[in-house]
Amino acid sequence: MNAKELIEEIQAEKKTAIKEGTLREEKPLEQIEDRDIPRRLPKGWEWCRLGDYAMKVTDYVASGSFASLKENVLITNDENYAVMVKTADFSNGFSKNLTYTDEHGYKFLENSNLYGGELILSNIGSIGKVFIVPDLKRPMTLASNTVMVRMTHNEYNKYMYYMFKSPFGQGLLMSISSGTSMLKFNKTQLKSTIIPIAPLEEQYRICDVLDKVQGVIDKRERELVDLDNLIKARFVELFGSINDNKFDYDVMTLQDVCEPIKDGTHQTPTYTEDTINGYKFLSSKDVTSGKIDWTHLKYIPEELHNELYKRISPRKGDVLLAKNGTTGVAAIVDKDEVFDIYVSLALLRPLGLVTSEYLCSAVNSVETKQQFDSSLKGIGVPNLHLGEIKKTKIVVPPIEEQEKFAEFVKQVDKSKVVDTNAA
């Protein structure tokens, strides 16, 4: 089945669903003009607006006004009738920190209920995150700050997943995102995006190849996680925790052990496509793995860089801490780079009391995470204020012990590089 036939079949199924009352009829999307087409596609492929290809594209607020949602939807961390699926749930396998609603709330949110197989896209903050909803064998519905894409058949989901995860798809999501303090897009913008549709057999072939590649990537990521867990275990073995402080080390705040803690610019910058003359610009999304990802950065013009760099100038050995969206994850600036940071990152520059490796591991510890979680501000997108970061406490061992730990971290990092080269 070529792409044109596939699209026609999907649109026929949507018309049937509308006629049967299982799908709401929506305003037709604009026709695709020649000027809208990004590039030529292989024979048998077609460009199509997402809203015309998917059965449904919706979000949490599609079920009613903010007032009616507040009145009708209970949101609780206590076990209840239905799970409200968040993007954060995918990182822990739906094993902790779940959000629930009662049966009344679930029925009120009928338009965004989930059954497994749907695509979930983060549309505020962490733009580019895409997941396929598992079947939890219980009622599920969509939480806020996400958009759901449901296809007419689950077998079409994986192609869409890989499409959104591809450089083209990530660029597509960024192209519809905007915001002064936090990037975001809405379901209407997503519906209007123009996506490449492959013939069905070609979709299966593409997904089969990418599944195999993903399997290799997953194996490698598990190996890296094991090495990171080794570092965490060694940290606890050497230094204990702030809760028991079994070695009776000094307890200090992050403000005590760092130069004045600052965050990046609060204004959304003007970006540039010029990666030669532009300057790297990092946000919280670039540190969420616990290491700085230097491969998918944005760039800003030289004039703006000069202005921002006067206020805050990151350097090798600094620790960057995610404070908006995905919060409480720290990463060391591991190479000499000239770059600027967004408000979603705080810069921690250690004084002589702590090494960079120790500070980063202390900030990423379970005890510090608990302190951060207890002080999060804001509804919807979590926000860790600078004042709370400065007050956060860590144990401070003798510098000689920290240096031994830093050497251990360096050896483990070398193992990661060796394993990567071997792979």
Specify the higher pLDDT residue, 89 or 91. Answer: 89
Average pLDDT in the 241-259 region?
Answer: 92
Residue 419 has pLDDT above 60, yes or no: no
pLDDT of residue 377: 64
Determine the pLDDT at residue 244: 85
pLDDT in tens, 312-336: 999 999 999 999 877 889 999 999 9
Range with the poorest average pLDDT among 3-17, 24-38, 405-419: 405-419
Confidence (pLDDT) at 180: 65
Same domain, 293 and 401: yes
Same domain, 178 and 224: no
- Mean pLDDT over 348-356 rounds to 95
Q: Range with the lowest mean pLDDT among 23-27, 224-228, 274-278? A: 224-228
In a domain, 106, yes or no: yes
Which residue, 167, 198, 229, sits at the end of a domain?
198
- Range 122-125 contact pairs with CB under 8 angstroms and sequence separation of 24 or more: 122/87, 122/146, 123/59, 123/147, 123/184, 123/185, 123/186, 123/187, 123/190, 124/182, 124/183, 124/184, 124/325, 124/380, 124/381, 125/182, 125/183, 125/184, 125/284, 125/324, 125/325, 125/326, 125/344, 125/381
Residues 239 and 192 occupy one common structural domain = no
Contact predicate 230/412, CB 8 Å: yes
pLDDT at 30 over 70: yes
Same domain, 339 and 276: yes
186 and 234 in a common domain: no
Q: Are residues 315 and 280 in the same domain?
A: yes
More confident residue, 403 or 180: 403
Answer whether residue 116 shows pLDDT above 80: yes
Average pLDDT of every residue of the chain: 90
Do the domain assignments include residue 122?
yes
Check which CATH number belongs to the domain holding 30 and give it: 3.90.220.20
Residues 46 and 174 in one domain: yes
Q: Work out the average pLDDT over 304-308.
A: 96
Judged against a pLDDT cut of 80, whether residue 381 lies above it is answered with no
Say what the pLDDT of residue 164 is: 95
Residue 287 falls within a domain, yes or no?
Answer: yes
In a domain, 112, yes or no: yes
Per-residue pLDDT at 380: 55
Quick one: pLDDT band at residue 68, thresholds 50, 70, 90?
Answer: very high
DSSP state of 301: -
So what's the pLDDT on residue 7? 95
- The pLDDT, as a whole number, for residue 207 is 95
Domain count for the chain: 2
Residue 239 reports pLDDT greater than 80: yes
Q: 379: domain range?
A: 220-422
Maximum average pLDDT range among 57-66, 170-179, 192-201: 192-201
Which two three-digit tokens encode residue 251? 């307890």
Both 194 and 231 in a single domain? no
Q: Is residue 169 domain-resident?
A: yes
Q: For the residues 370-399, what does the mean pLDDT come to?
A: 84
* Residue 83 confidence (pLDDT) above 70: yes
Q: Is 90 exceeded by the pLDDT of residue 102? A: yes
Res 210 pLDDT > 90: yes
Q: Are residues 237 and 289 in the same domain?
A: yes
Q: For residue 410, what pLDDT band results from cuts at 50, 70 and 90?
A: confident
Do 80 and 154 lie in one domain? The reply is: yes
Cα–Cα distance measured from residue 337 to residue 259, given in angstroms and rounded to the nearest whole number? 20
Task: State whether 90 and 138 are in the same domain.
Answer: yes
The confidence band for 282, taking pLDDT boundaries of 50, 70 and 90, is: very high
With respect to residue 209, please indicate whether it lies within any of the assigned structural domains. Answer: no
The pLDDT of residue 79 is above 90:
yes
DSSP assignment string, 40-87: ---TT-EEEEHHHHSSEEEEGGGGS-HHHHHHH---BSS--SEEEE-T
Averaged over 137-158, what is the pLDDT? Answer: 94
Residue 206 within any structural domain of the chain: no
| pLDDT, tens digit, 9 for 90 and up, residues 251-267 | 999 999 999 999 999 98
Of residues 383 and 211, the one with the higher pLDDT is: 211
Instruction: Examine the fold and report which residue of 166, 198, 230 is the final residue of a domain before the chain moves on.
Output: 198
Give percent of the chain above pLDDT 90.
67
Residues 286 and 179 in one domain: no
In a domain, 203, yes or no: no
